[in-house]
Amino acid sequence: MVKQKCHVSKWYNAGSKIILNATVPIYEVGEFIGTYNVSPGSMIVVNSPVVERLVENVNYVFIILVTVIVLAISIIVFIKIRK
């Protein structure tokens, strides 16, 4: 599932350094796609018109890690109950 965020437009002078920030939930990963293709929190230098679109995808590493932890806890509880 890919989600795209809304459009923000602002004028910056040539040579301006800006940081592309975004709030992304822990269960997702975000990337700005467009002129620079960078991760949220990256600094860019404006030298020409910039078009960036935040694209969010599922953070599969986080989902797998949570699943493994839940399964490990379930197995430990099951073993303790059987004793």
If DSSP codes are grouped into helix, strand and coil, which group holds residue 62? helix
Helix H or strand E segment including 23: none
Quote the pLDDT of residue 2: 52
Beta strands in 1-83, from DSSP E residues, in sequence order? 3-4, 17-20, 28-34, 42-45, 52-58
Nearest to 14 by CA among 38, 39, 45: 45
Q: Give pLDDT tens digits along the chain (83 positions).
A: 555 555 667 888 899 999 999 999 999 999 999 999 999 999 999 998 888 899 999 999 999 999 999 999 999 999 999 87
